[in-house]
Structure 1
């Protein structure tokens, strides 16, 4: 687990306009050189002339997936284009664009993304590359919306791949961990803009999890693990379509929150999206946090494990004996569901999933032994760790959890035979 003496969120840009640390502050980037090209041709020359290079987005990875000892490049200096194709119902967007900025422009054009992550601050390319997601029984992760992407390959060439032309290979190139090249533009499927109401309910019985997850368009449950196996889930965030009826007063044995709340105890509710059933545009309700405020708590580490949906009850029961250990270093734990997809390195590949997300305190030394216990408890359920969070699952176990892992490794060797886009983390988990 990486640690530093910096403050979370302290990764300000250096003279080249490239962050020195990740958003949480627990990773100081090791790059010898930092770049912020102003145009595509400059980026292509930079990639072609580098021995080791990685693109950095919003820095919301909590591990060293985005780190390199060579050249670190920010794409924030490239034109931040948003091109809506009304006939095809797609939007083509610059890789470094933040989801919150994209959503505002997309909504103004009358369109929406089917889902949003809990925070709108993350970059489109970074979220797609790591299969970051929103929540909903019938909703895939953010990467499932990708219908085309453009990337600069190891020799500096520009490659465009499309879902309708790339066949099976396309499914291996979307969630690619930055291992195939520097993604510069992505095309995403969109839907007509819609409105959402958000209700927060308190005190959900554990036995009602499945019914709660199925009750709205997007649902997130928050627990502090202090209630034990017989305890209740502290908060249920229900994001329902605006024309759906509100939950009844006695919904699943819960009570309605009396006012706006924050999922992390002690944090101000004003940082969060509007609640209490107030209708609003999709992009102002599907995330948990507002774009203009610090998301989550800021001073934190994060881990997340994706489990087969059918194993949810067993997996949570396996964690119950660790409740006190977890609670001692936990800020909040979020439970959410994500629909299956066919993307090779997506944690939801081939299976509907339960995501168990831990927002830990910002003390890596204190979290590490608890994390090891959590991973041992979840091991029988074939967990797939989020690629951009803190985890220590052994490489063999990670590879075994993905039916197409060997195919992706071969694809990476084909497109990047010299390992230009490799990192220490990729060298550990992705065989040459």
Structure 2
């Protein structure tokens, strides 16, 4: 049976993954592996990040969710998708600070790669992590939390420190969110005052194409909040459900009315196929939000090259954090996301052009998506500390692969 990622754009060299049913079995598999170990989750990476000789899937592990209301944390198995966690804690009146575009992704994979939601004041999903339980290279167990000085280097670990079996997340009291879509907002409004656009709600996304005159702005308002205006930035609020990719309005979360946080913060519903699954290639680059206007203008200059290959672009913001390998480390960031058509040779040829246009702004690519850049360590102020931590916990390279060598020199 051929093993591929979510979109079918990466085929693993290893045909099968081991499916341990306990932490003890994970320990044994790692200890006996001889190296080349990578953990796989819900297969939402678009590149060879998770490639290895020994692939370990935690899908058959116990799925107990442990909510500690006194500590305001929840300890969850790393393999669970965010939707499962959200439903469990929402039933008890608790919530996460943010969620990604789709709730289908595993908490282990998303937090290991600094995957994100949106919001000028919202950190990426990794910033909610308060604890990690790992199986290390010798088959031992290690717990790391915020009391450990290595913790900030361990959260966004790219699978290089061990197999994470459980993640502990910060929670907060439940809340409601309303999302509204503004149509035909001029591109110029975004370029003129990006802070006004992206600061208009708890979570804000801009969708569109680079060569058009206008975009859509999706505003998610945390309730209670300000009254939702009918017009913004010259665009009108949609009165009907709007799609993201194609014409499918059934797979997107409800617009125009309040609802629970976990049913509004993601763009896509958990019980539907998200995005253009199987028909897309994803790339994303993060730049300092202070450079938003200049960076967006540089990419717009390539619109005639980009748009013929593009299904949709999404722009989102992520608050700065102190995680050593986070794409928002040290700077509030603008995420420039491309959902490309599945035309691999053409997209591969285009990426260096996009990266050259963004080069003056020190772009950091999403770890799990397509990019052409290599040797990225210089983009991260704490990279040498992160590299030292990798060598400390995995001196023989049990969890490293071609990706880590090419991208980080590790």
Q: TM-score range by the shorter chain?
A: over 0.9
Partner SS for 1:297:
coil
RMSD, aligned α-carbons: 1.2
1:431, distance to aligned residue in structure 2 (A) = 2.6
Which runs of structure 2 are paired with 1:408-423 in the superposition (5 Å)?
A: 408-423=386-401
Which runs of structure 2 are paired with 1:151-300 in the superposition (5 Å)?
A: 151-163=134-146, 165-167=147-149, 169-205=150-186, 206-208=188-190, 209-227=194-212, 231-233=213-215, 235-264=216-245, 266-276=246-256, 278-298=257-277, 299-300=279-280
Matched residues in 1 for 2:247 and 2:135: separation? Answer: 41
1:251, distance to aligned residue in structure 2 (A) = 1.8
- Select which of 403, 406, 410 maps to 1:428: 406
Task: Give the conservation status (yes or no) of the 8 Å contact 1:133–1:140.
Answer: yes
Which runs of structure 2 are paired with 1:8-87 in the superposition (5 Å)?
A: 14=1, 20-31=3-14, 34-51=17-34, 52-68=36-52, 70-87=53-70
- Structure 1 unmatched runs, 5+: 1-13
Task: Give the conservation status (yes or no) of the 8 Å contact 2:182–2:231.
Answer: no
- Structure 2 unmatched runs, 5+: none
Q: Could you say which residue in structure 2 is the equivalent of 1:333?
A: 313
Q: Could you say which residue in structure 2 is the equivalent of 1:10?
A: none
Task: Give the conservation status (yes or no) of the 8 Å contact 2:19–2:60.
Answer: yes
- Select which of 125, 140, 154 maps to 1:142: 125
Deviations for 1:137-186, whole angstroms, at most 9, x for unmatched residues? 100000000111100000000100110x202x110000000000000001
Task: Give the conservation status (yes or no) of the 8 Å contact 1:409–1:431.
Answer: no
Q: Tell me, yes or no, if structure 1 residue 403 matches structure 2 residue 381.
A: yes
Task: Give the conservation status (yes or no) of the 8 Å contact 1:95–1:125.
Answer: yes
Task: Give the conservation status (yes or no) of the 8 Å contact 1:267–1:297.
Answer: no
1:244, distance to aligned residue in structure 2 (A) = 1.7
Instruction: Between 362-371 and 187-196, report the one with greater CA deviation.
Output: 362-371
- Length-normalised TM-score, structure 2: 0.96
1:32, distance to aligned residue in structure 2 (A) = 6.0
Instruction: Between 205-214 and 325-334, report the one with greater CA deviation.
Output: 205-214
Task: Give the conservation status (yes or no) of the 8 Å contact 1:137–1:338.
Answer: yes
Matched residues in 2 for 1:94 and 1:214: separation? Answer: 34
1:33, distance to aligned residue in structure 2 (A) = 5.2
Matched residues in 2 for 1:207 and 1:162: separation? Answer: 43
Partner SS for 1:34:
coil
Instruction: Between 245-254 and 291-300, report the one with greater CA deviation.
Output: 245-254
Q: Could you say which residue in structure 2 is the equivalent of 1:377?
A: 357
Partner SS for 2:336:
strand
- Select which of 317, 338, 357 maps to 1:358: 338
Matched residues in 1 for 2:26 and 2:362: separation? Answer: 39
Matched residues in 1 for 2:247 and 2:19: separation? Answer: 34
Task: Give the conservation status (yes or no) of the 8 Å contact 2:374–2:406.
Answer: no
1:283, distance to aligned residue in structure 2 (A) = 0.1
Matched residues in 2 for 1:179 and 1:32: separation? Answer: 21
- Select which of 55, 80, 89 maps to 1:106: 89
Matched residues in 1 for 2:124 and 2:37: separation? Answer: 27
**Structure 1 moving runs of 4+ over 3 Å:** none
Matched residues in 2 for 1:249 and 1:65: separation? Answer: 44
1:204, distance to aligned residue in structure 2 (A) = 1.8
Aligned residues: 404
